[in-house]
Structure 1
Amino acid sequence: MIDIDFVLTLIFLFFANNFMLNNLAKKYSFFDKKLMMKLLWYHLSFFVIYFIYSLVYGTDAGIYYIEASSIWDDWFINFRTGTKFISFFAAPFIQLGLSYSSMMLVFAWMGYIGFVYAYLYFKENIPINVIVFGRFDLLTLLLFLPNMHFWTASLGKGSMIFMGLMLFTFAVKYPQKRVIPLIIGGFFIYMVRPHVMLFVLVGVMVGILFGKGKTSIGIKLLVIVASLGFLVAASSSILAVAKLENSENVVDDFEDFTQASASRLESSADSGVSMSNYALPLKLFTFWFRPLFIDSPGLVGQFSSIENLIYLLLFAKIMNMRFVRFILKAPYMVKMSAIVFLLSSFALTFVMSNLGIIMRQKSMVMYFGFFVIYYFLGLEKWKYLEKMKQKNISIPEAV
């Protein structure tokens, strides 16, 4: 039986979503509202799938809901980074009478907002359409990857941090004009995973310092000073993630922490993989592209394997010297995305030894890698089209 609060929540979110999409369509001429509506229904289908999955198998979403239902008397004590923040955020909604299904829907919508701003992030910076595998529009393919939707359609960290990351990344191109999404995105990233905020800000600073672009000196200084100030102020919270806030030797203690975390995750589930002795390239390969069919944990893992194969084929397109020359001269947003992707991947490979957790964790960073690939392929296509124009050669419509 469907709860009345679920129906009311669905109606409210539908109108709120329509308002958001209409506003974005007015601001950006390239914005495709029809595509975003298709994406909404697609994402909601994964909300239904995950909701049923959580009832059958039990997930963290149920634990978050139970905890959030019981903390109201000490609500503000839970205003801290990490897992507690999910319960803190959900508690007021539950006090208003929202059921488990309604809270799942609210968080699923947050995940959907992440996809809308991922679309803006890609489309604003790469206006050219790229066709891959002979017939598929690359941006559409990336937006409809099922694994991304599955892990961002439920009550939990995945949907919230994905929304925060895409809001922040979209806003950081013009921080002086997009202060509100910048602050909201940065807030959610920091509160859910402070260490990811570290990676993002390092990426921003490196991108601004070494990337090509027309960013003024004043904006560059403002962003760098603000980023450094935030990192200094939040250093204790960031180090606390790995219990290093009182450490006298951060490097050695971090190594001990990662080894302990990896061993715990490896032994906690059937999908554990022994990565502690892997060389770094193999660790990264495991994080980015596994499971791959033969080591897939269950039905979800099989679907993930198909998606991972797509990742692998996309990454194969940048395995050439043209890409190396491109990345060295790449603009600010590309270098920022590359740094965030590599730093996050590097850090997570040292603590991830469970394929199920890897599938969930990498959903928050893969779009940064996809952005770099997309930009490179878009630039390659633009160069090809310019060359054909100079030679007065007609271009097939499929190109």
Structure 2
Amino acid sequence: MIDIDFLIVFIFILAVNYILLNSLAKKHSFFNKGLVNKLYWFHVAFFVIYFIYGLANRSDSYEYYFDALNMGESWGSQFRSGTVFISFFAAPLVNIGLSFLSVSFIFSWMGYIGFVYAYVYFKENIPIDVKVFGRFDLLTLLLFLPNMHFWTASIGKGSMIFMGLMLFTYAIKFPQKRIFTLIIGGFFIYMVRPHVMLFVLVGVMVGILFGKGKTSIGIKLLVIVASIGFLAAASSSILAVAKLENSENVVEDFEEFTGATAAKLKSSADSGVSMSNYPLPLKLFTFWFRPLFIDSPGIVGQFSSIENLIYLLLFAKIINMRFVRFILKAPYMVKMSAIVFLLSSFALTFVMSNLGIIMRQKSMVMYFGFFVIYYFLGLEKWKYLEKMKQKNIESVTTV
């Protein structure tokens, strides 16, 4: 039986969603409310699927909820980055009497917000439509990838950090105009995973310094100085994630930490893979494209394998020299996305040795890789259309 508080939360979120989507539609002429509304109900379906899955397979969501329920008077002292922030954020919701179902739905909605801003992030920077595999619209395909929705539809880090990443990435294109969105996105990234905030800011700085764009010198300096200042101020918290804040040899201690973490994750489930001895290319391949049917852990893994095959086919489209020339001259949003994708992937491959956790973790970074692919394919299509247009003009002139 559905609790009355869930119905209230459900209706409230519908109202907030209506206001948000109308606001974005006014700001962006390309915004397709019909598509984004379909995306909402698709995500809600995965909220239901994950909830049922969680009943049979006890997930971390329950632990976050009960930790929030038991915080009591210690709540204020729990404000810090990392796993505890999930329960800290949920505690006020729990304390006003919201059920597990209601709190789960709020977190799921946060995941949906990530998809909304991913859509704007792609469409604002790549106005041209791209078809893949013969007849599928690439952006629609990317937005409706089941695995992405499954891992962002519950209480946990996945929904919150995905929202933060997409808010921040959307805002960084025009930071002076979108400062509020930038701060909110950055806050959630840092509070959930401080080290991912490091990757994002490095990507921003590299993109602005070496990417093409019309950003003014003043804005570039402001973003770089702010990023460096933040990294300096937050360096202890970021290093503390790997217990390196008091380290005298960061590299050696990081290797020891990642080895211990990988062994712990491998032993915690029956889907472990021994990646410690893999060469880096194979580690990255495992992180991006596995499981692939033969090593899929359970039914969820089989569905994930289908999606991973799509990833593999999409990435195959950039294995050529045209892409190399493109990335060297790419705009700063593309270079930023590429750096965030590669740095995050590189770091996570050293601690991931469990296919189930890999499926969950990579959902927060794959859209950065997809953006680079989408931009490249969009540019290729634009060049082709321009070439055909020029041929038509020449043929008309000749006649």
Paired residues for 1:65-76 under 5 Å: 65-76=65-76
Letter matched to residue 221 of structure 2: L
TM-score scaled to structure 1, two decimals?
0.98
Paired residues for 1:148-159 under 5 Å: 148-159=148-159
Query: 1:247, 1:18 → 2: CA distance?
Result: 49
> What is the aligned partner in structure 1 of residue 228 from structure 2?
228
Paired residues for 1:99-110 under 5 Å: 99-110=99-110
Query: 2:63, 2:11 → 1: CA distance?
Result: 26
SS of residue paired to 1:391: helix
Query: 2:166, 2:76 → 1: CA distance?
Result: 27
Query: 1:367, 1:135 → 2: CA distance?
Result: 21
Paired residues for 1:52-201 under 5 Å: 52-201=52-201
Give the CA deviation at 1:57: 1.1
Letter matched to residue 387 of structure 2: K
Letter matched to residue 296 of structure 2: S
Paired residues for 1:319-334 under 5 Å: 319-334=319-334
> What is the aligned partner in structure 1 of residue 273 from structure 2?
273
Please give the per-residue CA displacement for 1:153-185, whole angstroms capped at 9, x wherever unaligned: 000000000000000000000000000110000
> What is the aligned partner in structure 1 of residue 41 from structure 2?
41
Query: 1:265, 1:84 → 2: CA distance?
Result: 19
Paired residues for 1:301-316 under 5 Å: 301-316=301-316
Letter matched to residue 373 of structure 1: I
> What is the aligned partner in structure 2 of residue 349 from structure 1?
349
Moved more, 71-80 or 355-364: 71-80
Please give the per-residue CA displacement for 1:182-201, whole angstroms capped at 9, x wherever unaligned: 00000000000000000000
Superposition misfits of 4+ residues, deviation over 3 angstroms: none
Letter matched to residue 219 of structure 2: I
> What is the aligned partner in structure 2 of residue 18 from structure 1?
18
Query: 1:27, 1:207 → 2: CA distance?
Result: 25
Moved more, 199-208 or 68-77: 68-77
> What is the aligned partner in structure 2 of residue 396 from structure 1?
none
Query: 1:63, 1:55 → 2: CA distance?
Result: 13
Please give the per-residue CA displacement for 1:104-138, whole angstroms capped at 9, x wherever unaligned: 00000000000000000000000000000000000
> What is the aligned partner in structure 2 of residue 372 from structure 1?
372
Query: 1:134, 1:104 → 2: CA distance?
Result: 38
> What is the aligned partner in structure 2 of residue 397 from structure 1?
none
Query: 2:72, 2:379 → 1: CA distance?
Result: 52
Query: 2:160, 2:262 → 1: CA distance?
Result: 24
Please give the per-residue CA displacement for 1:228-270, whole angstroms capped at 9, x wherever unaligned: 0000000000000000000000000000001111111111110
Please give the per-residue CA displacement for 1:43-83, whole angstroms capped at 9, x wherever unaligned: 00000000111111110000000000010211011101011
Query: 1:161, 1:5 → 2: CA distance?
Result: 26
Letter matched to residue 158 of structure 1: G
Letter matched to residue 303 of structure 1: F
Query: 1:324, 1:57 → 2: CA distance?
Result: 44
Structure 1, unaligned runs of 5 or more: 394-399
Query: 1:298, 1:49 → 2: CA distance?
Result: 15
Please give the per-residue CA displacement for 1:253-289, whole angstroms capped at 9, x wherever unaligned: 0000011111111111100000000000000000000
Structure 2, unaligned runs of 5 or more: 394-399
> What is the aligned partner in structure 1 of residue 295 from structure 2?
295
Query: 2:153, 2:240 → 1: CA distance?
Result: 28
Please give the per-residue CA displacement for 1:275-311, whole angstroms capped at 9, x wherever unaligned: 0000000000000000000000000000000000000
> What is the aligned partner in structure 1 of residue 396 from structure 2?
none
Query: 2:38, 2:86 → 1: CA distance?
Result: 28
> What is the aligned partner in structure 2 of residue 219 from structure 1?
219
Moved more, 120-129 or 256-265: 256-265
Query: 1:252, 1:26 → 2: CA distance?
Result: 52
SS of residue paired to 2:392: coil
Query: 1:262, 1:26 → 2: CA distance?
Result: 47
Query: 1:277, 1:67 → 2: CA distance?
Result: 37
Letter matched to residue 260 of structure 2: A
Superposed CA RMSD: 0.9
Letter matched to residue 158 of structure 2: G
Query: 1:127, 1:370 → 2: CA distance?
Result: 15
The count of corresponding residues between Structure 1 and Structure 2 is 394
> What is the aligned partner in structure 2 of residue 209 from structure 1?
209
Letter matched to residue 278 of structure 2: Y
SS of residue paired to 1:234: helix
Letter matched to residue 140 of structure 1: T
Query: 2:184, 2:378 → 1: CA distance?
Result: 30
Please give the per-residue CA displacement for 1:8-60, whole angstroms capped at 9, x wherever unaligned: 00000000000100111111100000000000000000000001111111100
Please give the per-residue CA displacement for 1:195-219, whole angstroms capped at 9, x wherever unaligned: 0000000000000000000110000
